[in-house]
Amino acid sequence: GDASLFVFLSFVMLRSLAAAVPRVVSPALRARWISFPADAAPDSKEVQESLRAEVKKAPVVVFMKGVPSAPRCGFSANVIQILHHEGITDVHGIDVLQDNTIREGAKIFSDWPTFPQVYIDGEFIGGRDIVYNMFQTGELKQLLSKIKK
């Protein structure tokens, strides 16, 4: 009856949504997964050099809670929204919730205690408040215009 029709239509709708996801979520918005052995010290040379290499892998790198396509905190989501507003869709996101060594190592690397942490052309820019202020003043647009292709 009506219940089976509802279940069928729900299934069809979910299936079509699932089929659309790969087209909606750009490969550029998927997270980059890096990890270290459980005994790696966040301040070790290996970890810090790996993080240094990571921030140079893309023009815009964000150490964040979650991934660009699914942020897991409001500040991370806001930074991604700002970057998208400025036309940056190729965001190299690194989920700091996936690995404690990355989370603690990134704090040491940037000398910044909170997330998200935004890097542009390998240089640490700041967290959400700094990025937001730069967005409001036009500084962010000017900085990002140098890396747009």
- Looking at residue 11, what is its pLDDT? 43
3-class SS string, 2-25? HHHHHHHHHHHHHHHHHHHHHHHC
**Which DSSP letter does residue 86 get?**
T
**Which DSSP letter does residue 40 get?**
-
* Coil, strand or helix at 58: coil
Show the CA angle centred on residue 140, arms to residues 139 and 146, nearest 5°. Answer: 100
pTM of the model: 0.76
Please list the residues that pair with 118 across neighbouring strands.
62, 126
Give Cβ neighbours of residue 59 (< 8 Å, ≥ 6 apart): 90, 120, 121, 147
Tens digits of residue pLDDT in 117-141: 999 999 999 999 999 999 999 999 9
Please determine, for residue 16, whether its predicted confidence score (pLDDT) is greater than 50: no
* Coil, strand or helix at 122: coil
Tens digits of residue pLDDT in 81-112: 999 999 998 899 999 999 899 999 999 999 99
- Looking at residue 148, what is its pLDDT? 54
Please determine, for residue 24, whether its predicted confidence score (pLDDT) is greater than 90: no
- Looking at residue 40, what is its pLDDT? 84
Dmax (CA) of the chain? 65
- Looking at residue 38, what is its pLDDT? 74
Q: How many other CB atoms are found less than 10 A from the CB of residue 11?
A: 10
